[in-house]
Amino acid sequence: TQLLEQSPQFLSIQEGENLTVYCNSSSVFSSLQWYRQEPGEGPVLLVTVVTGGEVKKLKRLTFQFGDARKDSSLHITAAQPGDTGLYLCAGDVVNNNDMRFGAGTRLTVKP
Amino acid sequence: DAGVTQSPTHLIKTRGQQVTLRCSPKSGHDTVSWYQQALGQGPQFIFQYYEEEERQRGNFPDRFSGHQFPNYSSELNVNALLLGDSALYLCASSPQRVGNTIYFGEGSWLTVV
């Protein structure tokens, strides 16, 4: 079983729609990161959230860290085809020394 | 400022062979982690190196081993390759052992035939 569960696994929407993807765990994280990965490339960091309840905005993307630091969400407003990709959440568990990833949400935005 | 660099970018090996993948961390970073990413999956943690020692290890067999050099660069070695070892191998670096920001290289695509 994955330490971090991401949902949905796949998401296909039309350009202009809004969407939310989720990242959940039973573990507490010191921080949680969201990455976007395109085929054949390494993951690219989008944001890091550290404080429980924290909300960060990156243009049309809004990231939220749960109050208990066990979960996070990514909301995209007015999705564009350029948002297509694999969205990965990753967290470093408190008192651990490595970053663990979810399986990802594969987003396709159709023109 | 160069980011994380990995080599080779693509390689094909035969079952039973051995492979060595290389990684140079981002300037100023002393911690290197290796991940295996199968097609359609998220990265799976293999191990992490800090101060030339393996500090943390994921659920991978002993066929997977590594090394970190004094200049912080790192190698991942896989012995007795299996078809299931075919994957994208990602190297990530961070400026401290428990960093909340890690940076990835482009990865090395390994195909085992």
Check pLDDT > 80 for residue B93: yes
Residue B70's beta-bridge partner residues? none
Instruction: Determine the pLDDT at residue B1.
Output: 60
Instruction: For chains A and B, count residue pairs whose Cβ atoms are closer than 8 Å.
Output: 63
Instruction: Name every chain B residue with its beta carbon within 8 A of the beta carbon of A72.
Output: none
Bin A3: left if φ > 0, else alpha if -120 < ψ < 50, else beta. Answer: alpha
- Straight-line distance from the first to the last Cα atom of chain A, in angstroms, rounded to the nearest whole number: 35
When pLDDT is averaged across residues B71-96 and rounded to a whole number, the result is: 94
Check pLDDT > 70 for residue B49: yes
Q: Which of B40, B90, B98 sits opposite A42 (nearest CB)?
A: B90
What residues contact A59, with CB distance under 8 A and at least 6 apart?
A: none
Partner-chain contact A101 B43, CB within 8 Å? yes
Cis? peptide before B95, omega within 30° of 0: no
For A38-49, write each residue's pLDDT tens digit. Answer: 988 899 999 999
Check pLDDT > 60 for residue B100: no
Check pLDDT > 90 for residue A53: yes
Instruction: Determine the pLDDT at residue A41.
Output: 86
Instruction: Determine the pLDDT at residue B69.
Output: 97
For A6-21, write each residue's pLDDT tens digit. Answer: 999 999 999 999 999 9
Instruction: Determine the pLDDT at residue B99.
Output: 53
When pLDDT is averaged across residues B45-51 and rounded to a whole number, the result is: 92
pLDDT averaged over every residue in chain A: 92
Instruction: Determine the pLDDT at residue B97.
Output: 55
Question: Considering only alpha carbons, which residue of chain B is nearest residue A91?
Answer: B100
- Pick B96 or B32 by higher pLDDT: B32
When pLDDT is averaged across residues A31-59 and rounded to a whole number, the result is: 92
Q: Which of A45, A90, A102 sits opposite B103 (nearest CB)?
A: A45
Interface test with A, best of B47, B100, B110, B111 (most A CBs within 10 A): B100
When pLDDT is averaged across residues A25-39 and rounded to a whole number, the result is: 91
Check pLDDT > 80 for residue A74: yes
Instruction: Determine the pLDDT at residue B94.
Output: 86
Does any CB of chain B come closer than 8 Å to the CB of residue A56? no
- Straight-line distance from the first to the last Cα atom of chain B, in angstroms, rounded to the nearest whole number: 37
The whole-angstrom distance between A101's CA and the closest CA on chain B is 6
For B77-87, write each residue's pLDDT tens digit. Answer: 999 999 999 99
Binned at pLDDT 50, 70 and 90, residue A92 comes out as: confident
The full 3-state SS of chain B, as one line of letters, equals CCCCEEECCEEEECCCCCEEEEEECCCCCCEEEEEEECCCCCCEEEEEEECCEEEEECCCCCCEEEEECCCCCEEEEECCCCHHHCEEEEEEEECCCCCCCCEECCCEEEEEC
